[in-house]
Structure 1
Amino acid sequence: MTRTGTNFAVPAPAAQAVEVCLFDTVDGPETARIALPARDPRGIWHGHVRGLRDGQLYGLRVHGPYAPAEGHRHNPHKLLVDPWAREVVGAVRLDDATFGFPRGAAAADLGFDARDSAPVVPRGVVRRPAKPPPPGPDTPWADTILYEAHVRGLTMRHPAIAPQDRGTFRAIGHPAILSHLTDLGITALELLPVFAFSDERHLPDLGLSNYWGYNPYAFLAPDPRYGTPDDFRAMVAALHGAGIEVILDVVYNHTSESDELGQTLSLRGLGNRTFYRTRDGGRRYANDSGCGNTLRLEDPLCLRLVMDSLRHWVTEMGVDGFRFDLAVTPARHHGRFDATGPFLAALAQDPVLSRVKLIAEPWDIGQDGHHTGRFPAPWVEWNDRFRDSVRAFFAGRGRPGDLASALAGSSDLFAPGGRPPQASVNFITAHDGFTLRDLVSYDRKHNEANGEDNRDGTNHNLSWSGGVEGETDTAAIGADRDARRTGLMTALMAALGVPMILAGDEIGHTQGGNNNAYSQDNDITWLDWERADWTFRDVVRDLIAWRKATPAVRRTAFFTGAPDPDTGRPDVTWLDASGQPRRTGEDWARDLDALGVAFGAAPDAAPLMFRAPRR
């Protein structure tokens, strides 16, 4: 933006013309259409629109070949959301006009639809660059306690928050939420996706909507349901003022445009083959994400979109790091995971992004999609082996050796690459799966509310109900469940690495056994603060305080068994049920329902003893 107007630059390499369309209101008619006059050799169309000021609503129309069999899907009748827009207003509607082809016909995606989609898609908003909030506390990884939460889930039922603010960025910055987080001892809030997103096309017919947000269409704009960019910056400022970092869960593996039968909302109409990995001559899409399409980060223009987005959220919005959904997908190069490929290399050399917290979900559903332990420093990774080993032990189906490996930071995964224990983000529960309370209350998933006949969601839960499926008033079962919740949380806080807590686990939140609540924007996922388990909250708070006061579990080097120079004792000693050291294979083969651990650097502390349930 300049003193005289606004500059536009739109990448559309195969286009024949690009137009900026202006609107006065979010649901009003188009008031002007301005063709961008120039195209550079890279295929970026650009121009200066005089008189255009901050707050102007706009969209894009792109003229070019419509040849779906060859991968070209330009259609000027479809208003496109600028994927670089700093703000959007309105919402995507599942209307037939948003599809580039007439729906329902044979080989539908090869046809051409000339209906105008402008009435049913969001508008971008012209915004000048903004001053970021004050910087965060820059907490070292060794001292970090992550708390994974959803903007709406955390705040929709909190009685201290005004009804009009619930479910928004304003609610996250409310003193009641800040007080809860700081009292608990949280150092970093990891928010589920907040980029502007839309529903998967099968959900409206089921009376459901996308709740988690893993379906973006604009990469620099917060979803308007949660608030404005100013609201977001105010939230970040409030969290930073409380000593809490802000981590965003980001989706750069796919977009909401889905497969060849999906809507035309943005990138598909700008340059389908530029922004997506295609196959079958260009008509269909690679689908390593499992969501219909895959972004093509090998292309410099697509990579630039992702890098511009990341830098925007750091330099203008003030965030402290990112958790990358299905991080293997953007890290693929010509279809295969490549630790030196374009995406990871671009991040490594970037002077801004290489200094923020980078968390990988180190898998996707594509070929050879599991790569825990293989991301380069300074990345850290969700450690699914930790999750499974700890869950199995406290479900009465695990082994002490696997639990010991998890508590020791999974050194076999991370040490070979010269990475410290903090490369492992340890978690027992996350948004995807059972909550902690459900983990000890259900043997099976109960996803009927999702409308897919309970077929969705994993069957590999490593859970145990204790003998009664679901809620029970039986005192003995309740006491056993409480003991196992405490044991699970103790293991999380005692392990080398970086612990992550799922929001609500500390107050006993249940989803009624739903382990795939992506479409449940309701009481299933919203935390019930008025019926919170404050007793267990105190347990979790005390465990976090213990971790912060215990250097032995925050060490930045893996255990070796060597004597600690200050105490003369081994840095760690593994114990059997009677408290005797486990030294031989025979020692590890007995007492399979118990594991003790003593830290040599804390000689006065009592050993921790973990006990599995007897099934």
Structure 2
Amino acid sequence: MSQYGAAVTGGNTIFRVRSPLATAMQLCLTENGEEQRIAMQRDGDDWVAKVPRDLAGATYGYRADGEWQPEQGKWFHPAKLLVDPYAVELDRRFTQDPALANFGVDTSDIVPRAVIQPPLPEVPLNAPCFQRGGLIYELNVDGFTRLHPDVPDAQRGTVAALAHPSVIAHLQKLHVSAVELMPITAWIDERHLSALGLANHWGYNPVAPMALDPGLCPGGVAELRDTVAALHDAGIGVILDLVPNHSGESDIFGGVFCLRGLDDSAYAHAPDGTLINDSGCGNTLDFAQAHVRDMTVATLRHFVRHCGVDGFRFDLAPIMARGPGFDPAAPIFAEIAADPWLADRVMIAEPWDIGPGGYQLGNFPANWLEWNDKYRDDVRRFWRGDGTASTLATRMAGSADIFGPDCRSVNFLAAHDGFTLADSVAYEQRHNLANGEDNRDGHSENYSWNNGVEGPTDNPDILARRAADLRAMLGTLFASTGTIMLTAGDEFGRTQQGNNNAYCQPMPVNWEARDVALEDHVAGLSATRAASLAAMAQFPEGGCWTDYHGQPMSDEQWNDPSLSAFAFHPPPHSDRPGFALDRIARTATLLAQD
């Protein structure tokens, strides 16, 4: 694979970009505020330019010439400044603007430029700072740190804030094994949001896959590397949530500012030439193309080699194995496994997309973990009162019906997408009107309940039932086999006021209003789990299930939604703690670990 992007080497700076159908390419180089346009030379499907000096710190973009025939996948116009898909730092954030999609309108004042980097230091390739069975803590960098009272104002909302001693102390209190950072690479708002006065706060609409967002990571690669090192020193791994399934250039009405203006073949197309939209975001990257896979592997390698991250969570991961149908033996899996920088990293799939046959839970490689939405739904249903003990036991024992004897499940009760944990016991319906889509967006079925009142209440009985339900579900999670995940703030009752699709709502964690008693309860559960971490990764063979009176469970009890309690007793000499669950009416508590 050729060295794409900008490389400073031997006193020269060499640029390489892929654009097979362009008729000409210009490097737009900016030094000291002055832009110079340099004609690039064709090299097969690529274009190259060599500038005989060290340009580290300068900025650049590309302009591609050729036909403007969108229906033929040709979006070439020299008025469009294009971001290098291999950029690792940008000079500013992306801004949505109608000019990005308008033919002939110059976009040099709108599109960010890539910042040329000196040769980046390598981080020693050590074993991942994460162990299966541990606690993954999913967080939004901005939302998690924006209101933290101990973090200095200048650091709030940035990756550097995660290295603050108070933040690390909180993570250690919860015995977090690894933080999973929601996207920190550069993204652009969806087109419809600006008209509504809204913005994307989650980052799941990326542009250049390895370019860090200048707002979240203003110190660039060095900031991320230093933060990872600080977390590693505290025994906490770092997993990056990446979005290789689509780009922010959207559908055919979207803008031209990166891949679309360079190489439309990166996007998957139907036989009639229309864009395939298995991502639901207007386009889908085509992993049947080797150059798309190369870019993704290069992205992963960059973050391991130069930042030291422990692994990755992949949004809408089936798209990575489409060509066009899902293939569990897709080339991308072998390419990742064969890369010496990636072979031992933690790989986590969100195992669904919206394409045909898009639900692929349990079908990823044997060394990958998978988000298990069945765990979330079945645990919620049990504590809501319409699930069965047999289903709950299957989920708690590692979901062998899905994964077989080798548990690869990431068990979770709530995630960034959907209700928060506290909202799942306070709202029966989604409340997404603030998103501007007439409450049509977000999942309609959340397996939630409100304990008698929709939303906020001062009724002490309802509040007590909600608190007990939260403790019951959290206890279930921490007693379950497999890796577990908690979303930041759920340990102290974070709410989104019933919004289950809050990507466009600024909802930072309110550290001053947190439920400290619930937080301490979670810390206690986590301490118990951490004491036998290795044993939690796999369900022990042998042992027995009994009812609350110590008698073997009957078939009737296993399938009775009103069952009040049951327990698992590990085999003799096992280091796996037993657990007992008790539910009386709609008030529940975890007895063994309360």
TM-score (norm 2): 0.93
Structure 2 residue 252 is matched with structure 1 residue 260: yes
Contact 1:552 1:602 in 2 (8 A): no
Structure 2 residue 37 is matched with structure 1 residue 33: yes
What is the 5 A alignment of 1:228-247? 228-247=220-239
TM-aligned CA deviation for residue 551 of structure 1: 6.0
TM-aligned CA deviation for residue 610 of structure 1: 3.6
Give CA deviations for 1:295-317 in whole Å, capped at 9, x if unaligned. 01211222111111110011011
1:566 matched to which residue of 2?
none
SS of residue in 1 equivalent to 2:189: coil
Q: How many Å separate the matches in 2 of 1:73 and 1:23?
A: 24
TM-aligned CA distance change 1:533 to 1:409, over 3 Å: same
Partner letter of residue 527 of structure 1? V
Contact 1:148 1:189 in 2 (8 A): yes
Segments of 5+ residues of structure 1 without an aligned counterpart are 102-112, 563-569
TM-aligned CA deviation for residue 154 of structure 1: 0.6
Partner letter of residue 388 of structure 1? D
TM-aligned CA deviation for residue 592 of structure 1: 2.9
2:414 matched to which residue of 1?
429
Which residue among 162, 170, 185 is the counterpart of 1:172?
162
Q: How many Å separate the matches in 1 of 2:42 and 2:240?
A: 36
Partner letter of residue 36 of structure 1? M
Contact 1:252 1:295 in 2 (8 A): yes
Partner letter of residue 260 of structure 1? I
Give CA deviations for 1:203-224 in whole Å, capped at 9, x if unaligned. 0000001111001111121100
Q: How many Å separate the matches in 1 of 2:255 and 2:61?
A: 16
Partner letter of residue 436 of structure 1? L
Q: How many Å separate the matches in 2 of 1:190 and 1:603?
A: 34
Bigger shift: residues 426-435 or 299-308: 299-308
Structure 2 residue 269 is matched with structure 1 residue 278: yes
TM-aligned CA deviation for residue 149 of structure 1: 0.1
Structure 2 residue 570 is matched with structure 1 residue 600: yes
TM-aligned CA deviation for residue 429 of structure 1: 0.3
SS of residue in 2 equivalent to 1:97: helix
Partner letter of residue 276 of structure 1? Y
1:439 matched to which residue of 2?
424
Structure 2 residue 510 is matched with structure 1 residue 528: yes
Q: How many Å separate the matches in 2 of 1:281 and 1:590?
A: 52
TM-aligned CA deviation for residue 612 of structure 1: 6.5
Give CA deviations for 1:151-180 in whole Å, capped at 9, x if unaligned. 011100111111121100121111111110
1:120 matched to which residue of 2?
110
1:580 matched to which residue of 2?
551
1:53 matched to which residue of 2?
55
TM-aligned CA distance change 1:598 to 1:94, over 3 Å: closer
1:450 matched to which residue of 2?
435
Partner letter of residue 566 of structure 2? G
Structure 2 residue 84 is matched with structure 1 residue 92: no
What is the 5 A alignment of 1:532-611? 532-550=514-532, 554-556=536-538, 558-560=539-541, 562=542, 570=543, 573-582=544-553, 584-590=554-560, 592-601=562-571, 607-611=579-583
1:21 matched to which residue of 2?
28
Structure 2 residue 406 is matched with structure 1 residue 420: yes
Contact 2:390 2:559 in 1 (8 A): no
SS of residue in 2 equivalent to 1:436: coil
Partner letter of residue 136 of structure 2? L
What is the 5 A alignment of 1:298-447? 298-333=288-323, 335-415=324-404, 420-421=406-407, 423-447=408-432
SS of residue in 2 equivalent to 1:359: strand
Q: How many Å separate the matches in 2 of 1:245 and 1:426?
A: 18
- Percent sequence identity is 43
Give CA deviations for 1:32-80 in whole Å, capped at 9, x if unaligned. 001112313xx01113112241111100111122222212112221000
SS of residue in 2 equivalent to 1:38: strand
Q: What is the alpha-carbon root mean square deviation over aligned residues? A: 1.9
Q: How many Å separate the matches in 2 of 1:297 and 1:602?
A: 49
SS of residue in 1 equivalent to 2:393: helix
Q: How many Å separate the matches in 1 of 2:194 and 2:537?
A: 49
TM-aligned CA deviation for residue 81 of structure 1: 0.4
Give CA deviations for 1:412-449 in whole Å, capped at 9, x if unaligned. 1111xxx622x100001000011111111111111111
How many residues end up aligned between the 2 structures? 576
Structure 2 residue 130 is matched with structure 1 residue 130: no
Partner letter of residue 361 of structure 2? T
TM-score (norm 1): 0.90
TM-aligned CA distance change 1:529 to 1:602, over 3 Å: farther
TM-aligned CA deviation for residue 474 of structure 1: 1.4
TM-aligned CA distance change 1:360 to 1:252, over 3 Å: same
Q: How many Å separate the matches in 1 of 2:108 and 2:557?
A: 70
2:134 matched to which residue of 1?
144
SS of residue in 2 equivalent to 1:208: coil
Contact 1:574 1:595 in 2 (8 A): no
TM-aligned CA deviation for residue 23 of structure 1: 2.0
TM-aligned CA deviation for residue 603 of structure 1: 7.7
1:476 matched to which residue of 2?
461
TM-aligned CA deviation for residue 280 of structure 1: 5.4
Q: How many Å separate the matches in 1 of 2:522 and 2:414?
A: 14
Give CA deviations for 1:180-229 in whole Å, capped at 9, x if unaligned. 00111101000001111110000000000111100111112110001222
Which residue among 480, 486, 491 is the counterpart of 2:476?
491
TM-aligned CA distance change 1:554 to 1:126, over 3 Å: same
TM-aligned CA deviation for residue 139 of structure 1: 4.2
Partner letter of residue 316 of structure 1? H
Partner letter of residue 420 of structure 1? D
Bigger shift: residues 474-483 or 591-600: 591-600
Q: How many Å separate the matches in 2 of 1:439 and 1:398?
A: 16
Contact 1:457 1:516 in 2 (8 A): yes
TM-aligned CA distance change 1:534 to 1:127, over 3 Å: same
1:110 matched to which residue of 2?
none
TM-aligned CA distance change 1:47 to 1:459, over 3 Å: same
TM-aligned CA distance change 1:35 to 1:612, over 3 Å: farther
Q: How many Å separate the matches in 1 of 2:452 and 2:436?
A: 27
Partner letter of residue 151 of structure 2? I
SS of residue in 2 equivalent to 1:122: coil
TM-aligned CA deviation for residue 136 of structure 1: 6.5
Contact 1:396 1:612 in 2 (8 A): no
Q: How many Å separate the matches in 1 of 2:384 and 2:573?
A: 31
Bigger shift: residues 74-83 or 423-432: 74-83
Give CA deviations for 1:512-557 in whole Å, capped at 9, x if unaligned. 1111000012xxx21110111111111101101111224685153x
